[in-house]
Amino acid sequence: MEKKILQVHEEDAGQRADVWLTDQLEPMTRSAVQRLLAEGQVLREGRVLAKNSRLSGGERLEITLPDPEPVDVLPQNIPLDIVYEDDDVIVVNKPKGLVVHPAPGHPDGTLVNALMYHCGDSLSGIGGELRPGIVHRIDRDTSGLLIAAKNDVAHQKLAAQLQDHTLARTYHCIVTGRLREDSGTVNAPIGRHPVERKKMAVVANGRPAVTHWKVLERFPGFTYVECRLETGRTHQIRVHMAYLGHPIWGDTVYGGKKPVPGLQGQCLHAVGLRFLHPRTGEPVELCCALPEEFQAKLRSLRAKNG
């Protein structure tokens, strides 16, 4: 068992404890945090914090974290496009269509299964039984760079970088419509959609979410955009661009209902990743090319643009 002490700031007063703790204990899921609360593993000034509690601000929380669960996911020989690898981390260029970790409806054939085949026992256990090594996620139909940790120390340090934004993720996307400004920032909280529970949305009581964007090229009816994540909420870029009125091309959840011919899912690619190496502290900066279907759409738009 591991003990962790967290100080709640005055400005956090009124927040739900499970929401705040999920932010602080990333990559733990909200359901895992709620389980800790239900089991009495979170103390506020020495007393058990109830599952439905709100923070008063200024208090100190003591959390007892369970030991990592034994991994029980089958290794599978699924090809990986490895961009960087050493004894502590592995960075892959995830293709569209590949689910990151096992989940209902996707018990195997995931990136985790592929990593377990490639790395053997060399994956951190912090992510739990179904997410060994996984520090952050990418949607099934989004492609690009994803980092996984090979040991618990690396995982903890990379998760801390997600919190303090020293782990930087850059995406390229094509959105529908022409953005007027050359750059901007969307600072809008994201939470579960109030009606369609499989979707996320900008909601008043959501978790803080910040996306910085800038225009790379403009076309009739479309804009090629670079997005930099300051936070990492589920579907963040997709939700924020739709919130601006410019959903990502091919996104049938937050944009048009019909798939775009020649596109699998949304035209969104994690093109860049920057982090401090968890062992050496040296900066590591990586990038990968756009997938062919993304490049084909850009060529088509440029040809029409004359």
Residue 151 in tokens: 């040991």
CA 243 – CA 177 distance, rounded (Å): 13
Query: Is the Cβ–Cβ distance between 43 and 62 less than 8 Å?
Result: yes
CA 239 – CA 244 distance, rounded (Å): 9
Percent helix, strand and coil across the chain, each to the nearest 5 = 20, 30, 50
Q: How far is CA 18 from CA 25, 92, 135, in A?
A: 10, 31, 20
Query: Is the Cβ–Cβ distance between 34 and 18 less than 8 Å?
Result: yes
Amino acid (1-letter code) at residue 168: A
CA 139 – CA 248 distance, rounded (Å): 13
Residues known to be catalytic = 139
Query: End-to-end distance of the chain based on CA atoms, in angstroms?
Result: 63
Query: Is the Cβ–Cβ distance between 95 and 291 less than 8 Å?
Result: yes
CA neighbor of 282 nearest in space, from 98, 99, 84, 115? 84
Other CB atoms closer than 10 Å to residue 270's CB: what's the count? 24
